[in-house]
Amino acid sequence: MEQPVRFLIQIGLVSMGSAAGGLARWGVATGVGRVCGTAFPWGTLVVNLSGTLFLGWFSAVMSERLFVSPVSWLRPDDLRLMVAVGFTGAYTTFSTLEYESNNLLRDGDGLAGLTYLLGSLFLGLVAVRLGLWLAR
């Protein structure tokens, strides 16, 4: 298949995954909020933890080559784009942060892993506060 066509297919797959992930995030967060209340962000916590769990599981399935495509045009890398980047990326970016931090720690780079994890949390809070300040 030609590169431009392959690229268009990949754009479509990421888009479909993102739409499904965004809808899933909204649905799960809303449902959890109705059950547990909204005084504490339980919905977001459940979304972030379930997204992290799912990304770990999905990555293991893909790395063990347990996926067999039912159609010839869907390659494992395309499925990874649709699910890991599109769906899980729209469902939660927290899962990617945790997964990448785990990889750094697993690979023996504890300083980089902790710096990335804590830096993302702290600088993310600073960025939100800065954005609020700039908007005012």
pLDDT digit string, tens, across residues 10-26 = 999 999 999 999 999 99
In this predicted structure, what is the pLDDT of residue 67? 65
Neighbouring CB atoms inside 10 A of 71's CB total 6
User: What percentage of residues in the chain have a pLDDT greater than 70?
Assistant: 93
Neighbours of 19 (CB within 10 A): 13
79 closest CA partner among 57, 56, 49, 59: 59
Kindly report the number of other CB atoms within 10 A of residue 104's CB atom.
Answer: 17
Question: Mean pLDDT for the chain?
Answer: 89
Residue 99, sorted as left (phi over 0), alpha (psi -120 to 50) or beta, turns out to be alpha
pLDDT for 114-123, tens place per residue? 999 999 999 9
Q: What is the pLDDT of residues 63-96, one digit of tens each?
A: 877 666 666 777 888 899 999 999 999 998 788 7
- Supply the pTM of this predicted model: 0.76
Terminal alpha carbon distance of the chain = 51
Higher per-residue pLDDT: 78 or 35: 35
Q: What is the 3-state secondary structure of 61-74?
A: HHHCCCCCCCCCCC
